[in-house]
Amino acid sequence: MNFQKLLSNRVPIILQKCGFKHYPPPPNFDNVEFPEKPKLKFIDKFPQLPPSVKAPKMQKKLRLMRGPEEVHNFLLHKQYGIMALGGGRLKWGHFEMMRLTLHRKLDSSKMFAVWRVDSPWQPMTKQGQGQRMGGGKGPIDHYVTPVKTGRIILEVGGRAEFKEIEKFLTDIANKLPFKAMAVSQEILDEMKRKEKWEEENNQNPYTLKYLIQNNMGGCNRWLSPTDTKYFSKYV
């Protein structure tokens, strides 16, 4: 039966086309350098002082949490990590939560994790329950680590893609006492590119920076020094 006869008889013709699959090559991790210890080290609950030194007390120093992080705001290994989106304090329990979660989820044969924050060092005092007001500054209750916006909390790297570790990094970020997110080097680059593009292509001249610098509506009377310095970008 020829082709013309098939068309005349209206017999359905099934034409199969064999196509080649073009998959992208897997990423190359030959340039990844592993540290000596792939797992997060244990963090002390309080700083180790000499026996003859009494632990000093300290003020709250809220400026340690305000504003942007200007030093530890990039990834050393250029792979993945957790970045703070707001200021706050990390307690010893948060360090243990991050360490134990990564020990359960991380495959140390092909991945590693490193701390990017100091161990708890700032003393926080607290008066005993049921005491009257006054009586001076209370005893040291615990130690914390202050964190600013944009600080990298920890880094994760190795022979793994971001999709493999994004889930448990996001889980850790949601349990922190401040807003945080799981990031990769590509995400950080995209955030910087987007921020620069928005600043260059903004068509509204009345930005918050312009309003504060020109005291529009007398806003400097009720704005705090932090708002005047950072133009209400970091709260």
Q: Token digits for 140?
A: 């040291």
Rounded to two decimals, what is the model's pTM? 0.85
Q: How far apart are CA 67 and CA 70, in angstroms?
A: 9
Q: How far apart are CA 68 and CA 49, in angstroms?
A: 30
- What pLDDT does residue 31 have? 86
CA angle 172, 62, 184 (to 5 degrees): 30
- What pLDDT does residue 26 have? 84
- What pLDDT does residue 68 have? 94
Local confidence pLDDT in tens for the 235 residues of the chain: 555 554 455 555 555 556 667 788 888 888 888 888 999 999 999 999 999 999 999 999 999 999 999 999 999 999 999 999 999 999 999 999 999 999 999 988 999 999 999 999 999 999 988 888 888 999 999 999 999 999 999 999 999 999 999 999 999 999 999 999 999 999 999 999 999 999 999 999 999 999 999 999 999 999 989 889 998 888 6
By three-state DSSP, how is residue 161 classified?
coil
Which of 145, 108, 104 is CA-nearest to residue 123?
145
> Which amino acid is residue 71, in one-letter code?
V
Q: Token digits for 38?
A: 């792939």
Going from the C-alpha of 79 to that of each of 103, 155, 166, 184, the distances in angstroms are 19, 8, 12, 6
- What pLDDT does residue 16 have? 54
- What pLDDT does residue 174 have? 96
Residues 6+ apart with CB under 8 A from 9: none
The domains located in the chain, with CATH, are 30-47+56-126+137-195 (3.90.1170.10), 206-235 (no CATH)
- What pLDDT does residue 165 have? 93
